[in-house]
Amino acid sequence: MTTTPLLAFSLGGPEVAIIFVLMLLLFGAKKLPELARGMGKSLGEFKKAKQEFEEEIKYGDLQAREEKPAHPAPVSEPAGKPQYPG
């Protein structure tokens, strides 16, 4: 017996039609365009915020890479002979 994961479902034509009819009954014909417009604006704002966040992460990563030296700076030897007290 095979089981289908819960998230592996798809909506076909009949399901979409039923959802549309239910929304029409719940919100009315006059409110549906307003509702769809609001959802579209919200989705656009969400995508914009996501893009800005990703750009901020990339910029921060580039900045962090520039601040770290690729190789440690060589330690310079003191000039001349070392001097010991005494």
> Is residue 71 in a domain?
no
pTM value? 0.47
- Concatenating the DSSP letter of every residue in 11-80 gives --HHHHHHHHHHHHHHH-TTHHHHHHHHHHHHHHHHHHHHHHHHHHHHHHHHHHHHHS-SSPPPPPPPSS
pLDDT at residue 52, as a whole number: 94
Range of the domain at 56: 29-66
41 pLDDT band, cuts 50/70/90, is very high
> Is residue 33 in a domain?
yes
Contacts within 8 Å (CB) and 24+ apart, 77-82: none
Mean pLDDT, range 3-20, rounded to an integer: 74
> Is residue 53 in a domain?
yes
**pLDDT tens column, 65-80:** 877 655 565 666 556 6
> Is residue 83 in a domain?
no
> Is residue 61 in a domain?
yes
Residue 2 confidence (pLDDT) above 60:
no
> Is residue 52 in a domain?
yes
Residues sharing a CB contact under 8 Å with residue 30, sequence separation 6 or more, in sequence order: none
> Is residue 47 in a domain?
yes
Percent of the chain with pLDDT over 70: 67
Mean pLDDT, range 9-30, rounded to an integer: 85
Q: How many domains does the chain have?
A: 1
Mean pLDDT, range 6-27, rounded to an integer: 81
